[in-house]
Amino acid sequence: MMLYAVRMDVAIPHDLDPGHRQELISAEKALCHELQRAGEWVHIWRVAGAYSNISIFDVADNERLHEILWSLPLFPYMRVQVDPLATHPSDLAVADAAGTDPK
Amino acid sequence: MMLYAVRMDVAIPHDLDPGHRQELISAEKALCHELQRAGEWVHIWRVAGAYSNISIFDVADNERLHEILWSLPLFPYMRVQVDPLATHPSDLAVADAAGTDPK
Amino acid sequence: MMLYAVRMDVAIPHDLDPGHRQELISAEKALCHELQRAGEWVHIWRVAGAYSNISIFDVADNERLHEILWSLPLFPYMRVQVDPLATHPSDLAVADAAGTDPK
Amino acid sequence: MMLYAVRMDVAIPHDLDPGHRQELISAEKALCHELQRAGEWVHIWRVAGAYSNISIFDVADNERLHEILWSLPLFPYMRVQVDPLATHPSDLAVADAAGTDPK
Amino acid sequence: MMLYAVRMDVAIPHDLDPGHRQELISAEKALCHELQRAGEWVHIWRVAGAYSNISIFDVADNERLHEILWSLPLFPYMRVQVDPLATHPSDLAVADAAGTDPK
Amino acid sequence: MMLYAVRMDVAIPHDLDPGHRQELISAEKALCHELQRAGEWVHIWRVAGAYSNISIFDVADNERLHEILWSLPLFPYMRVQVDPLATHPSDLAVADAAGTDPK
Amino acid sequence: MMLYAVRMDVAIPHDLDPGHRQELISAEKALCHELQRAGEWVHIWRVAGAYSNISIFDVADNERLHEILWSLPLFPYMRVQVDPLATHPSDLAVADAAGTDPK
Amino acid sequence: MMLYAVRMDVAIPHDLDPGHRQELISAEKALCHELQRAGEWVHIWRVAGAYSNISIFDVADNERLHEILWSLPLFPYMRVQVDPLATHPSDLAVADAAGTDPK
Amino acid sequence: MMLYAVRMDVAIPHDLDPGHRQELISAEKALCHELQRAGEWVHIWRVAGAYSNISIFDVADNERLHEILWSLPLFPYMRVQVDPLATHPSDLAVADAAGTDPK
Amino acid sequence: MMLYAVRMDVAIPHDLDPGHRQELISAEKALCHELQRAGEWVHIWRVAGAYSNISIFDVADNERLHEILWSLPLFPYMRVQVDPLATHPSDLAVADAAGTDPK
């Protein structure tokens, strides 16, 4: 599995039908919950003061990451920034997993 | 405790003394490990293809966050971007903690 | 309590219904007054030549800051920039409070 | 008197003589204290995670603001952003001073 | 009195009612003339190839500058950039006024 | 003759020989005075809080403007932004010169 | 006469009436031809992959340049960037015209 | 395997020792050839007019991509931009591989 | 033939008629297939997390590249970035074609 | 042959040996003259107020354009921006060449 940091900035047009808007938000939340339960959307935080989130995804590959993001109901109203992640050499969890002392 | 997403882009000057450079990197790693063990530096990931990391801090307040970042041996050579985080309404962990079904 | 500098740039769509526009502005002002009385919105200044303000908030944590900003009636029409603040070592008030001479 | 918000981002060259560096920082602090006591430098906050401050100045005019900033020992190593400020119509202090209820 | 350089970039929405558009432009011109006669709007130049002007204002303070700009009929359709100005040490007029030879 | 607004941001390298630096600044000032007396450099203002000026030139053509700017002793250490100017239709001086009432 | 490099990026609103759109484009082309025949619009090239052109104008002064650009039927839908040009010391044509060998 | 588009902009410091510079370039070329033979660096093109390349990598995961880029001898002198790639629905090769007519 | 890297970022207006939208997308796909079969559109990849593609074109000249891009049904809704490509000296294919060992 | 608009912004390091600097500039001028005589560098203009030129090249292909730019003695000290050009439908020369009236 591979990790990605994804920031989503949401800008729903002001003249969108309110009912449709609510449907999108509810569907977005339901899918988000489902992907969290599946272990693919491992973290989601709100950026204080913004209609934005910073999320961590753990998925099979680039293909799956795109499939998930493209399927989000609010995707057409988002600006999305993707940073593929790798293990950091200072990550303690990695050192512990390897049974070695961190150096 | 409060969460912050922090991205650090490192640019050590090319003409820095190699010995001093290595000392800085080692000291940075040691402090990073210590702060992970203390539960304040909760995640650190390498951004693929960059001398950068994306980290999550869990600290008492803005004051403590600044104290930590300012004390990093590589701080003078970093560009640092801080995003204060809040709970996201779609975070499943929050819903579970509250004993309520996610809606 | 913690301090944050927040800049808000307002851009209300030109085709918003004038009555609704006025309601938003009145509700924004009322909430701003209430938060000032509560001691959470400690400063608000107009940026000369712009539909913008620079404000200082003093709140419990990131969570509360987001709750306040998200609740502002004009929030959907604002671009918001948040800078978490810490004590500056040259701040005289801090030195005085500590009963020490500034050095 | 007039208010200005000023953000200063400091970048002292890495190869500056350490003694000279320390002299600059000490002189900067002394002048900052003096201007605070004189009531011209009314607020100074550290931006968390940055070698930067956000300050509020209350001075006679543009001329005096420039004179102060230009005289700062670290001025040659700073990027400075100035925002002239005006009274905000929602500022409670203004309403109170006028003896009127905020509306 | 104090000087400010102000650049205004105008972008009137294409779907604005043509009659209203013309009213705004006429009112803007009338107010501009009035402020020139009052000695507050001391220069206005068109930027070649743009619906923009570069202007010099000479007003009592930040408060008055904001009052003027905010009152412009086209203000809601402008992006405004303000640079507070101070005397330049190489300005010959300043040297002459002081009765000293420029050095 | 034609007008140009020119903004010059100066950044003299910190390691330039102090004597040479002073020579450059003195020569710059002398040439600036000479061009003001010649009526080509008609305004020069300091931007408050910056090692920058905003100037107005009144010269024969693009060729002469470039010749002047290129010849400035500090030119190699400046970032220069040029805006060619035209008459603004709201300029009162223009209306007066034409013997017509401003409309 | 003086030269200017001008880049025009065109963005006609998608909801403009198609008939009006076609009229604007035809009028733009006719005026462009007329100005080419008059020797004022000396070059026009399409930027590959963009609804943009890079043009060279040879006109009397800034005033005339602005008059031309402002009069273009598509001007309200363009972002325009103007670079005033001067003779380059390496331009062979200049050297030849002066009857001197290029040096 | 997964694809990534990577753009590398190279800026070797002008004062680097020429011999060391040549060693870096030769080592970079050798490693590039080796990774091409291994099938991981599948395309490399020069961007016309720049010391830059646009490359396509086909590697196991983010971890391997970072390992490769980090190991490049010129990495400390590069600005690197990574775009993780997925299959495009209009890619004919994909349609052919699936034995289906493109629709 | 010549190569170009082209990135297309698509932003179809939200209020476009859904039937028209679908027609555009289908026509875009058909033309894309045709140009792939003709050998002019040699690669197309989806950028993960974006309504964007990165493509490689192999065409006769700038003229043909522009003709293709301009003719795309979605062109009016795209931001297009073109990078003309040249052979990279480290490209193994080039070395092999020349029958020489890569050096 | 194909046309390209190229802008070159030159920034020679201040500490370059003056003799070497002069050699580079002379060699640059000689090569520029040679390429003008060969008909490949068809226009070169100085941007007023900048150490920059805007040039038009007419070369066989991307490969040749890169070969020329890469070979310029000042290339290592330039930022170069390349815009591949195509025929503009409003270009009168094109219409005339085709023996048709411009429409």
Coil, helix or strand at residue G4: strand
Cα–Cα dist A70/H86, whole Å: 11
Is I touching H (3+ C-beta pairs, cut-off 8 A)?
yes
E14-67 pLDDT, tens digit each: 989 999 999 999 999 999 999 999 999 999 999 999 999 999 999 999 999 999
- Which residues, in sequence order, are CB contacts of D100 under 8 Å at separation 6+? none
Residue G103 belongs to some domain of the structure? no
SS (H, E, C) chain H: CEEEEEEEEECCCCCCCHHHHHHHHHHHHHHHHHHHHCCCEEEEEEECCCCEEEEEEEECCHHHHHHHHHHCCCHHHEEEEEEEEEECCCCHHHHHHCCCCCC
Task: Give the model's pLDDT for residue F99.
Answer: 58
Residue B93: per-residue pLDDT: 83
Residue C103 lies in a domain: no
Element (H, E) at F51: none
Task: Identify whether H84 is part of a domain.
Answer: yes
The one-character DSSP state at C1 is -
User: E50, E64, E68, E59: which is closest to E9 by C-alpha?
Assistant: E50
Average pLDDT, chain G: 93
Q: What are the C-alpha distances in Å from B18 to residues D13, H11, H18, H71?
A: 18, 20, 19, 18
pLDDT in tens, chain A (103 residues): 799 999 999 999 998 999 999 999 999 999 999 999 999 999 999 999 999 999 999 999 999 999 999 999 999 999 999 999 999 999 998 767 665 554 4
Q: Which residues of chain I are modeled with pLDDT < 50?
A: 102-103
Q: Is the pLDDT of residue D103 over 50?
A: no
Q: Which domain holds residue I69?
A: 2-98
> Which three-class secondary structure state does DSSP give residue C101?
coil
**Residue B103 reports pLDDT greater than 50:** no
Query: Contacts of residue G32 in chain J, CB cutoff 8 Å?
Result: 90, 92
Task: For residue A76, give the nearest of I14, I46, I49 by CB distance.
Answer: I14
Please name the residues in contact with G100: beta carbons below 8 A apart, sequence gap of 6 or more.
none
Neighbours of chain A (3+ CB pairs under 8 A): B, C, H, I
Which of A25-29's residues contact partners 24+ apart within 8 Å by CB, and which partners?
A25/A73, A25/A74, A27/A73, A28/A72, A28/A73, A28/A74, A28/B90, A29/B89, A29/B90, A29/B102, A29/B103
Closest CA to J41 of J68, J66, J23, J9: J68
Closest-CA residue of G relative to I82 is: G49
Does residue D97 register a pLDDT over 60?
yes
From first CA to last CA, the distance across chain B in angstroms is 26
Tokens of D93: 């202090």
Q: What is the mean pLDDT of residues F12-34?
A: 96
Identify the CATH number of the domain in which residue H28 sits.
Answer: 3.30.70.1060
The total number of residues written for chain B in this structure: 103
Total domains, chain F:
1
Q: Above 70 in pLDDT, residue B102?
A: no
Show the tokens assigned to I50. 């974006």
Tell me the per-residue pLDDT of C33-71, one tens digit each, with 9 for 90 and over. 999 999 999 999 999 999 999 999 999 999 999 999 999
**Could you tell me the two tokens for J79?**
């930022």
Q: Cα separation of D26 and D74, whole Å? A: 10
pTM of the model: 0.94
List of chains touching H (3+ CB pairs within 8 A): A, B, I, J
CB contact under 8 A, I53 and H88: yes
Which residues in chain J land under pLDDT 50? 102-103
Q: What angle do CA A50, G13, E29 make, to 5 degrees?
A: 85
* Residue H103 within any structural domain of the chain: no
Chains D and G touch (3+ CB pairs under 8 A): no
- Using alpha carbons, list the distances in angstroms from residue F35 to E86, E92, F72: 20, 10, 11
Tokens (6 digits) for A55: 């999320």
User: Are B5 and B42 spatial neighbours (Cβ–Cβ below 8 Å)?
Assistant: no
Taking an 8 Å cut-off on Cβ atoms, the answer to whether I69 and G48 are in contact is yes
Supply the pLDDT for residue H93: 82
CA atoms within 13 A on the CB side of F20: 8
What mean pLDDT is reported for chain F? 93
Cβ-Cβ contacts under 8 Å, D79 against chain F: none
Largest CA distance in chain E: 58
Name the minimum distance, in Å, from the CA of D68 to any CA of chain C.
16
The pLDDT of residue E94 is: 79
Asked whether the beta carbons of residue G49 and residue I76 sit closer than 8 angstroms, the reply is no
Domain membership flag for residue E77 = yes
Give the pLDDT score at C39: 97
In a domain, E58, yes or no: yes
Tokens 């030119």 belong to residue: F75
- Is there contact between J and C if contact means ≥3 C-beta pairs under 8 Å? no
Q: State how far the Cα of B82 lies from the Cα of B90, in Å rounded to an integer.
A: 22
Q: How far is CA D93 from CA D87, D88, F37, in A?
A: 10, 10, 50
Give the whole-angstrom CA distance, residue B48 versus residue B43: 16
User: Tell me, what's the pLDDT at G1?
Assistant: 75
Chain G CA closest to residue I5 = G49
Q: How does the average pLDDT of chain B come out, rounded?
A: 93
* pLDDT tens sequence across F48-83: 999 999 999 999 999 999 999 999 999 999 999 999
Does A61 contact H61 at a Cβ distance shorter than 8 Å?
yes
- Residue of chain C nearest D32, judged by CA positions: C90
Determine, yes or no, domain membership for D35: yes
Rounded mean pLDDT, D12-29: 96
Report the chain J residue with the minimal C-alpha distance to residue F7: J49
Could you tell me how many residues make up chain F?
A: 103
Return the partners of chain B (3 or more C-beta pairs < 8 Å).
A, C, D, H
Asked if residue F101 has pLDDT above 70, the reply is no
pLDDT digits (tens, 9 = 90+) for I11-27: 999 989 999 999 999 99
Q: Cα–Cα–Cα angle for J38, J42, J45, nearest 5°? A: 135
* Chain B interface disruption, residue of D14, D16, D25, D45, most B CBs within 10 A: D14
**At residue D22, does pLDDT exceed 60?**
yes
8 Å CB contact of G65 and E48 = yes
Q: Cα J8 vs. chain centroid, distance in angstroms?
A: 8
Q: Tell me the percentage of chain G whose pLDDT exceeds 70.
A: 91
User: In the predicted model, is pLDDT for residue F102 greater than 50?
Assistant: no
- E50 and G80 in contact by Cβ < 8 A? yes
Prediction ipTM score = 0.94
Please state, in angstroms and rounded to a whole number, the distance separating the CA atoms of residues C59 and C40.
5
Instruction: Tell me the per-residue pLDDT of H9-37, one tens digit each, with 9 for 90 and over.
Output: 999 999 899 999 999 999 999 999 999 99
Handedness of CA C33, C35, C37, C43 (dihedral sign): negative
Q: Considering only CB atoms, which residues of chain I are within 8 Å of chain G?
A: 6, 13, 16, 62-63, 65-66, 69-70, 76-77, 80-82
Please state, rounded to an integer, the average pLDDT across all residues of chain D: 93
Residue C37 resides in a domain:
yes
CA distance I89 to J5: 24
* Closest listed residue to residue H51, CA positions, set H6, H11, H83, H22: H11
Query: CA-to-CA distance for E25 and J69, rounded, in angstroms?
Result: 49
Contact I45 H89 (CB under 8 A): no
Using CB atoms, pick whichever of D47, D54, D90 lies closest to residue C32.
Answer: D90
